[in-house]
Amino acid sequence: TQNVGCGLYLLATSIASFATMLIFKIKFWFLLASKIGWIDHRSFLNTQCTFFEFSLRLFLNAGEWLTASVGIERAVNVTQGVNFNKAKSVKVAKWIILFVFIGNISTLIYDPMYRRLIDDEEEQRTWCVTNYSPSVGIFDVAINIFHFCIPFAMNCISALVIIYNTAYIRAKSQEKISFKQNLYKQIAVNKHLLISPFLLIILALPRLIISFLSGCMKSVNDSWFYLMGHFISFIPSMMTFAVFVLPSDMYKKEFKQFIRNLYH
């Protein structure tokens, strides 16, 4: 499956998803241990505050961009047909994957610089907070919206291109069936391509909303709101298999072969 760029994108997406879940799990246990009192060393808490938060944002954003790259390559493949160059797509994919990670690091490198720990004597808690200047705060909002909206738009556009071009090609080869009929048929067959971007963006929306909220959690209700929003926003990272592997006969075949190899 790595003979084309799409396979490399999915591999990189899987790695990003795994890294996201691993860091999230470590962060959860760090928070639990600090709450119980097992960890109270300032340097450990500061590492959790800066490194983990930055890494989570990095891998979450990278995963969304790589997911969009899968859709774009599939659209290019359908558009070019037999002229699609697999070797070239692999080379392009390697550069794009590198660019995605470098680009995300470049746009998020400011975040750890503005994170710090504060002690809340009233609540007997230590908070990890960001202390942005007004200009950096505006930049942070713009970056969040950019990383949220552009991959979503890319997924939607690539889905429409795939459906339209497939219907057009089928209409040319099947003279008895009109383009309109083929278009409706392709929409029905590939409806998952249209549903997936909206499903993923709905699940990721709580993370965007939380990033716009300021202040600390001062009540149990606030705590549950933040916690549920945080958990929901990580669901897309766990859906790589369901979104890309299950709908594809080729990737399902590769997955079954991989499972068989594990037990033989």
Segment 197-211, tens digit of pLDDT: 888 788 778 777 777
Structural contact between residues 258 and 17, judged by C-beta atoms closer than 8 angstroms: no
215: left (phi over 0), alpha (psi -120 to 50) or beta: left
The pLDDT of residue 139 is 92
Segment of 113-122, 192-201, 224-233 carrying the highest mean pLDDT: 192-201
**Does 220 have pLDDT greater than 50?**
no
Q: Tens digit of pLDDT for each residue in 39-79?
A: 666 677 777 778 888 898 899 899 999 989 998 999 999 98
Residues 207-235 have a mean pLDDT of 63
Structural domain count, the chain: 1
Residues 176-185 have a mean pLDDT of 83
**Does 214 have pLDDT greater than 90?**
no
Cα 231 vs. chain centroid, distance in angstroms? 14
Enter the tokens of residue 29: 């246990």
Average model confidence (pLDDT) across the chain: 80
10 Å Cβ neighbour count for 25? 10
Q: Write the burial class of residue 3 (CB in 10 Å: 0-12 exposed, 13-18 middle, 19+ buried).
A: exposed
Structural contact between residues 60 and 237, judged by C-beta atoms closer than 8 angstroms: yes
- DSSP secondary structure letters along 129-140: EE---HHHHHHH
pLDDT band at 137 (very low <50, low <70, confident <90, very high): confident
Which uninterrupted H or E stretch holds 64? helix 53-80
pLDDT band at 219 (very low <50, low <70, confident <90, very high): very low
Contacts of 166 (CB under 8 A, 6+ apart): 78, 182, 186, 190
**Rounded to 5 degrees, what angle do the CA atoms 140, 229, 124 make?**
85
Residues 136-147 have a mean pLDDT of 90
Least confident of 22-26, 142-146, 243-247: 243-247
Domain of 34, in residue numbers: 5-262
- Residues present in the chain in total: 264
What is the β-pairing status of strands 115-120 and 125-130? antiparallel
Q: Give me the CATH number covering residue 229.
A: 1.20.1070.10
Tell which wins on pLDDT, 264 or 193. 193
pLDDT band at 36 (very low <50, low <70, confident <90, very high): low
Structural contact between residues 233 and 20, judged by C-beta atoms closer than 8 angstroms: no
